[in-house]
Amino acid sequence: MALIHRTTLKPTKVELLTDWLPTRPWYHGPAAPELVKAGGFRLDDPAGEVGIEFMVVTEGSGGSEGSGAYLVPLTYRGAPLEGAEHALVGTMEHGVLGTRWAYDGCHDPVLTTELLALIEGRAEAQAQSITDTPDREVERSYAGQGPVTGLGAPVDTDGSTEFAVPDGGLVLRLRRVLTAGSTAPDDALGRITGAWQQPDGTRARAPFATLQAL
């Protein structure tokens, strides 16, 4: 169980993402966005070492139809992740834990392992800011016959990051650009649906991740 500390972060997560997000191939907003943390959830690392968060941010100028909403999976570590320099979002000074290295979680095996566990029902989504509290807005389903045993390297596309399932004929698609009210494909074998706050104050839902045939 991850413990949520009420303390300071310098820079903040949103400040890190303001610089990092415009460098991503799936980002289509302004070069200097006005980002707002709008939702998401956490997962627990069974080893208790890595913080795992799926954060939704919106642009301050985003419209009521959900444009300008982005899903950013992040991991937080107490030391650099070897071989993941290209995935480093930045470092932060945590008031309790000291220096934390923040990574694009799609390149962190701890996050991808727990993401599969969530889809398959072996892990439970947790509230972003409250310790030991499930996030009831996150829904998941899985119609497979057994666990997915591995994922290929992440590949960024226009709006998603995709992982091929070796020898499985499947792809795990993590939505980076969120569209309010959209639905998962009917043939999706697995799915995760989450919620976020839109700039106009309304609550939106959409698929965050799907597992489907190639």
C-alpha to C-alpha distance for 97 and 88, rounded to whole angstroms: 18
Q: Is 190 within 8 Å of 118 (Cβ atoms)?
A: no
Which residue, chain included where needed, has tokens 């016959």?
A: 145
Which pLDDT tens digit goes with each residue over 97-122?
779 999 999 999 999 999 999 999 99
Q: What is the pTM of this model?
A: 0.92
Q: Where are the domains of the chain?
A: 9-213
Cβ neighbors of 22 (< 8 A, separation 6 or more) are 29, 30, 31, 32, 33
- What local confidence, expressed as pLDDT, does residue 63 receive? 42
The answer on pLDDT for 154 being more than 60 is yes
pLDDT of 84 reads 96
